[in-house]
């Protein structure tokens, strides 16, 4: 390890025992501690952290305003068709998607830390909502009531997790598990939307069930819907490419002529608002061919804003109480908040540009938004991965863009619902398919294979389990596999064993464990050390350079180990043992416990031992 002067230790290890405090001193420290806690809760820093708007609003410029306006409107044009479609994925009437797309988006302005997050319904959460709500116990007529309660509970859990600092939980979802999960969700959504493209009845919540339903209904395929759907998908994929088309100087738009620049902007705008344009055109077509029943259309959507009220905690005039409702929705209640924040955080990471991510504040923000959304009868939402790309490429500068999105959704609810009913279902399905098809992360397999093959196991397991079981079980299996692997490595450290010689030519066994000595590994280490020590019968040196942690169980085993060596008259020296770890071992007062911190001293100890034929 290279060392020099001017050293500033930021993490300092505590060495030696602390002074004991008298009772009076202890009491005297309580009041300052309370004062301090109160003060810390209300410091400027904490308030700025909890209300990130206070950090960017004072510096808000006219450039920011323009960027946010353009992005907010573009996202708004995307969210309207998407939210209608996502409500469909969640198995709820379309208006519930719109209900969940304004208040949360507005609230995120105050609490959100990431400018690119468009709060609202998302494909993944909608599918999880579907799986949580569509169980045998839930009356289909009551789905919206359940959905709203799920949204509230999801928000409360996220808020609580954020306040309790449990953002760390998100770190336990590894890249491969996350990719496997997202890919499976995308494939499931894609399959579920196929029924609308084909104009047949779909159904089922797992991949085999969905495929089976599609296959058994294959005879009622509507060719008009199918044709429209396929054309829409192709147009959307082509228009997606359009957003990147540029004429003139491709590298630097500033060098282009005014007309070139305006042309580029228009092309980009058309490409980016492709969903709204396509759905609009299809709506017009739907309106005109309505009489002939060519396409399956959205149907009546109740106009106007939702009523604002606290979600009801019972259904069917109170015969099904709160606990029954919770039980009916099952484990989804716990997995949904986690997956929601996971999607949100992955947006933050994608656009962070090296800045740290505030997972706990995001939990608080998304939690509050969901609580807010539940008041307008929404089902759960989060930051939408597909719209975040639109938001970012539209040049969003602050979370303020959410305001324009919210306004657009409210306008839609107030004035445009009569027009929405003519939208063909196949065109909405095309919007979703064109959005989720890029979420199937096939491209991630190769780098994982090149980097660490065994990481494919949790990824593929999650993918398959999510397809054939419920989504929440799939992701729990993936996370579980990852945790088992961490725990296994904690229990079975790598130990390198070498025979070294001192300068005087005396052989000794050098044993180097690669990590902490804690309860799951210490018996294994002891067995290995004992086995090799007895076989060789020469002095043993345990190199503790990598041992950064230990516990009482380890200390007890070290005590037995030193006893065993002492009984055999074999030397055992702990080389380079950190003082903090030595203190833990010395807590059990082991006999014949020898440590040593430099090579010369080590040579000396081994020489002495060899001459005496017994432990020093």
* Dist. CA 187–CA 133, nearest whole Å: 20
Q: Which stretch binds its own copies (CB under 8 A): 199-207, 387-395, 399-407, 496-504?
A: 496-504
Report in angstroms how near the CB of residue 511 gets to its own copies at its nearest.
10
For its own copies, the binding residue among 39, 265, 316, 492 (CB under 8 A) is 492
Is 326 or 457 the residue whose CB approaches its own copies more closely?
A: 457
Closest CB to its own copies among residues 304, 587: 587
What is the SS3 assignment for 517? strand
User: Which of 45-53, 198-206, 256-264, 525-533 is the region at the interface with its own copies (rule: CB under 8 A)?
Assistant: 525-533
Q: Measured from the CB of residue 338, what is the shortest distance to its own copies in angstroms?
A: 14
Strands 382-383 and 119-120 come out as: antiparallel
Beta carbon of residue 329, minimum distance to its own copies (angstroms, whole number): 23
158 closest CA partner among 349, 362, 399: 362
Nearer to its own copies, 180 or 424 (CB): 180
Task: Of 540, 344, 542, 403, give the one whose Cα is nearest residue 101.
Answer: 403
The position carrying tokens 């690119």 is 116
Which residues, in sequence order, are bridge partners of residue 542? 511, 574
Compute the least distance from the CB of residue 374 to its own copies, in Å.
30
Task: Say if residues 529 and 571 touch (Cβ distance below 8 Å).
Answer: no
Structure tokens at 219: 């005879």
User: Of the candidates 285, 468, 469, 588, which one interacts with its own copies according to CB under 8 A?
Assistant: 588
Report which of 414, 409, 351, 401 is spatially closest to residue 378, judged by C-alpha positions. Answer: 409
Shortest Å distance, C-beta 36 to its own copies: 22
Q: Is 486 in the site for its own copies (CB under 8 A)?
A: yes
Question: Residue 407 Cβ, how far from its own copies at the closest point, in Å?
Answer: 35
Site for its own copies in 347-366 (CB under 8 A): 349, 353-357
The token duo for 542 is 């345990």
- Residue closer to its own copies by CB (options 51, 597) is 597
CB of 457 to its own copies, least distance (A): 11
> Number of C-alpha atoms within 13 angstroms, CB side, residue 349?
10
To its own copies, the closest distance from the beta carbon of 427 in angstroms equals 36
Only segment of 121-129, 208-216, 462-470, 483-491 that touches its own copies (CB under 8 A): 483-491
CA 68 to each of CA 62, 273, 400: distance values in angstroms, whole numbers, following the listed order: 10, 15, 6
Minimum distance, C-beta of residue 516 to its own copies, in the bound complex (Å): 7
Residue 597 in the binding site for its own copies (CB under 8 A):
no
460 forms part of the interface with its own copies (CB under 8 A): no
Q: From the list 259, 496, 612, 614, which residue makes contact with its own copies (rule: CB under 8 A)?
A: 496
Stretch 542-581: interaction string toward its own copies, x if CB under 8 A? -x-xx-xxxxxx-xx---xx--x--xx------xx-----
Pick 169 or 468: Cβ nearer its own copies: 169
Closest approach of its own copies to the CB of residue 174, in Å: 4
- Measured from the CB atom, the residue of 3 and 591 that comes closer to its own copies is 3
Select 29 or 216, whichever has its Cβ closest to its own copies.
Answer: 29
| Per-residue binder mask for its own copies (CB under 8 A), 9-48, x = binder | xxx-------------------------------------
Given a contact cutoff of 8 angstroms between Cβ atoms, the answer to whether 149 and 374 are in contact is: yes
Q: Which is nearer to its own copies, 255 or 601 (CB)?
A: 601
Residue 505 CB, shortest distance to its own copies, in Å, is: 9
Q: Give the burial class of 382: count Cβ atoms within 10 A of its Cβ; 0-12 exposed, 13-18 middle, 19 or more buried.
A: buried
Bridge partners, residue 498, by sequence: 510
CB of 62 to its own copies, least distance (A): 27
- Tell me if 495 contacts its own copies by CB under 8 A: yes
Separation CA 187–CA 92 (nearest Å): 20
> Cα separation of 480 and 2, whole Å?
39
**Which x/- pattern over 271-310 shows residues binding its own copies (rule: CB under 8 A)?**
----------------------------------------
40, 494, 579, 597: residue in contact with its own copies (rule CB under 8 A): 494
Which of 69, 103, 602, 605: binder of its own copies (CB under 8 A)? 602
Contacting its own copies within 153-192 (CB under 8 A): 168, 171-176
Q: 244 with 271: CB under 8 angstroms?
A: yes
List Cβ neighbours of 405 (8 Å cut-off, separation of 6 or more). 72, 73, 75, 76, 79, 101, 102, 105, 118, 120
Measured CA distances, 595 to 164, 503, 580, 598, 605 (Å): 41, 19, 13, 10, 10
What is the 3-state composition of the chain as percent helix, strand, coil, each rounded to the nearest 5?
65, 5, 30
- Of residues 499 through 518, those in contact with its own copies by CB under 8 A are 499-502, 507, 510, 512, 514-516, 518
Please state, in angstroms and rounded to a whole number, the distance separating the CA atoms of residues 539 and 571: 5
Going by DSSP bridges, is the β-strand pair 495-501/507-513 parallel, antiparallel, or unpaired? antiparallel
Q: How far apart are CA 412 and CA 421, in angstroms?
A: 12
**Residue (265 or 355) nearer to its own copies, CB:** 355
Site for its own copies in 420-459 (CB under 8 A): 447-452, 455
In whole angstroms, the minimum distance from the beta carbon of 325 to its own copies comes to 25
**How many residues line the site for its own copies (CB under 8 A)?**
91
Distance CA(270)–CA(264), nearest Å, equals: 10
Per-residue burial over 24-45, b if 16 or more Cβ lie within 10 Å, else e, is: eeeeeeeeeeeeeeeeeeeeee
By CB under 8 A, is residue 217 in contact with its own copies?
no
Would you say 192 and 213 are in contact if contact means Cβ atoms under 8 Å apart?
A: no
- By C-beta, is 414 or 484 nearer to its own copies? 484
Tell me how far, at minimum, the Cβ of 178 lies from its own copies, in Å.
9
Q: Which is nearer to its own copies, 149 or 184 (CB)?
A: 184
**Which helix (H) or strand (E) segment is 7 a member of?**
none
What are the tokens at 463?
């993918």
Q: Is 589 in the site for its own copies (CB under 8 A)?
A: yes
Q: What is the C-alpha separation between 140 and 91, in angstroms, rounded? A: 9
């Amino acid at each position: 390890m290279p060392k020099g002067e001017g050293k500033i230790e930021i993490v300092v290890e505590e060495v030696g025992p602390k002074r004991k405090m008298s009772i009076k001193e202890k009491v005297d420290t309580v009041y300052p501690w309370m004062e301090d806690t109160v003060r810390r809760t209300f410091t400027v820093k904490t308030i700025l952290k909890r209300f990130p708007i206070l950090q960017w609003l004072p510096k808000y410029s006219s450039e920011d305003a323009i960027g946010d306006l353009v992005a907010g409107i573009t996202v708004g044009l995307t969210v309207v068709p998407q939210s209608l479609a996502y409500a469909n994925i969640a198995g709820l009437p379309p208006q519930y998607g719109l209900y969940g797309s304004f208040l949360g988006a507005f609230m995120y302005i105050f609490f959100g830390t990431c400018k690119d997050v468009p709060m609202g319904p998302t494909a993944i959460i909608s599918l999880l909502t579907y799986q949580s709500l569509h169980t045998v116990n839930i009356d289909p007529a009551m789905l919206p009531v359940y959905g709203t309660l799920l949204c509230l509970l999801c928000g409360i859990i996220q808020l609580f997790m954020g306040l309790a600092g449990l953002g760390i939980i998100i770190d336990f979802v590894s890249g491969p598990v996350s990719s496997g999960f997202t890919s499976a969700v995308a494939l499931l959504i894609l399959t579920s939307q196929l029924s609308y493209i084909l104009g047949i009845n779909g159904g089922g919540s797992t991949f085999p069930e969905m495929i089976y339903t599609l296959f058994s209904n294959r005879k009622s395929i509507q060719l008009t819907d199918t044709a429209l759907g396929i054309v829409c998908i192709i147009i959307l994929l082509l228009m997606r490419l359009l957003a990147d088309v540029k004429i003139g100087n491709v590298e630097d738009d500033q060098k282009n002529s005014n007309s070139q620049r305006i042309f580029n902007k228009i092309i980009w705008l058309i490409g980016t608002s492709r969903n709204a344009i396509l759905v609009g055109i299809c709506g017009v077509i739907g309106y005109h061919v309505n009489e002939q029943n060519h396409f399956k259309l959205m149907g009546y959507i109740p106009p106007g804003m939702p009523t604002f009220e606290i979600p009801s905690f019972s259904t069917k005039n109170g015969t099904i109480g709160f606990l029954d409702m919770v039980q009916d929705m099952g484990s989804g209640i716990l997995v949904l908040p986690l997956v929601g924040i996971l999607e949100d955080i992955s947006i933050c990471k994608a656009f962070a540009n090296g800045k740290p991510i505030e997972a706990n504040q995001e939990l608080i923000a998304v939690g509050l938004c969901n609580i807010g959304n539940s008041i307008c009868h929404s089902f759960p939402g989060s930051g939408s991965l597909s719209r975040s790309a639109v938001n970012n490429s539209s040049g969003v500068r602050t979370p303020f863009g959410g305001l324009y999105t919210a306004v657009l959704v409210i306008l839609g609810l107030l004035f445009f619902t009569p027009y929405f009913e003519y939208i063909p279902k196949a065109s909405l399905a095309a919007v979703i398919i064109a959005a989720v098809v890029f979420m199937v992360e096939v491209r991630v397999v190769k780098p994982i294979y090149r980097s660490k093959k065994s990481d494919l196991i949790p990824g593929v397991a999650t993918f398959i389990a999510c397809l054939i079981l419920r989504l929440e079980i799939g992701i729990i299996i993936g996370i579980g596999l990852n945790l088992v692997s961490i725990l296994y490595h904690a229990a079975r450290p790598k130990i390198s064993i070498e025979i070294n010689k001192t300068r005087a030519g005396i052989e000794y066994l050098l044993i180097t464990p690669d990590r902490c000595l804690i309860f799951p590994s210490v018996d294994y280490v002891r067995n290995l050390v004992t086995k090799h020590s007895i076989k060789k019968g020469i002095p043993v040196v345990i190199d503790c350079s990598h041992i950064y942690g230990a516990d009482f169980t380890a200390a007890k085993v070290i005590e037995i180990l030193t006893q065993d060596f002492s009984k055999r008259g074999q030397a055992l020296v702990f080389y380079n043992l950190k003082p903090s770890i030595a203190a833990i071992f010395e807590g059990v007062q082991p006999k014949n416990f020898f440590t040593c911190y430099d090579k010369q001293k080590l040579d000396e100890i081994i020489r002495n031992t060899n001459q005496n034929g017994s432990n020093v």
